[in-house]
């Protein structure tokens, strides 16, 4: 699961799964969404739940449950907070981006990369630590609109092409690989949960 999915839905989904499947062997990792795509592709993980990337591999089955926005956010404690809120384009190049995962640039095709627009990038996979660094004014970070709405002191940085990305969030796995019984049951639990 991605950290945001885990924060908002992990407890309910896993409790139901464990109550209904007490003898099933289970391993859950909370991981950055980009790393999860590579993990499924490389057969490290059977099934993942997180935001879909812009271009998901064609050999993936994707089961979407809801939409979210990924927003570039800054905390009021950041020393450049006022400047970023009024003229982000001028001040973004001097900022540090706190991200959950920094993939190999060669794995992504074409286009301008966010990492090239900021002064530095710190890779911090743990959500709470990333938020603590942001709150201490050490950098900017992307977060779900759902998360941004519940955190005091954080604000969406406006006026940049990279300020907002829309993403569908759901489960994905390889199309032509047989899923374990546990994975199939977890998919069923998620489908029922998000249908209600």
- Neighbour count for residue 188 (Cβ, 10 Å): 12
Write out pLDDT tens, residues 171-190. 999 999 999 999 999 999 99
Write out pLDDT tens, residues 22-35. 888 889 999 998 89
Write out pLDDT tens, residues 95-141. 999 998 776 655 555 445 677 789 899 999 899 999 999 999 999 99
Q: Could you give the CA distance from residue 33 to residue 62 in angstroms, rounded to a whole number?
A: 14
Instruction: Give me the domains of the chain, ranges plus CATH numbers.
Output: 3-67+167-195 (3.40.190.10), 69-166 (3.40.190.10)
Q: In terms of pTM, does the model score above 0.75?
A: yes
């Amino acid at each position: 699961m991605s950290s945001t999915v885990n924060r908002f839905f992990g407890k309910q989904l896993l409790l139901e799964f464990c109550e209904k499947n007490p003898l099933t062997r289970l391993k859950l990792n909370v991981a950055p969404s980009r790393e999860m795509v590579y993990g499924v592709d490389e057969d490290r993980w059977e099934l993942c739940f997180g935001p879909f990337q812009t271009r998901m591999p064609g050999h993936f089955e994707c089961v979407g449950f809801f939409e979210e926005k990924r927003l570039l956010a800054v905390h009021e404690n950041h020393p450049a907070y006022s400047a970023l809120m009024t003229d982000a384009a001028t001040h973004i190049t001097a900022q540090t981006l706190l991200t959950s995962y920094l993939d190999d640039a060669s794995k992504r095709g074409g286009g301008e990369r966010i990492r090239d627009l900021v002064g530095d990038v710190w890779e911090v996979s743990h959500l709470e630590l990333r938020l603590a660094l942001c709150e201490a004014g050490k950098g900017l970070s992307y977060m779900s609109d759902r998360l941004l709405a519940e955190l005091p002191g954080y604000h969406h940085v406006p006026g940049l092409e990279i300020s907002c990305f829309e993403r569908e969030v759901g489960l994905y796995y390889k199309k032509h690989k047989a899923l374990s019984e546990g994975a199939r049951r977890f998919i069923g639990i998620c489908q029922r949960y998000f249908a209600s």
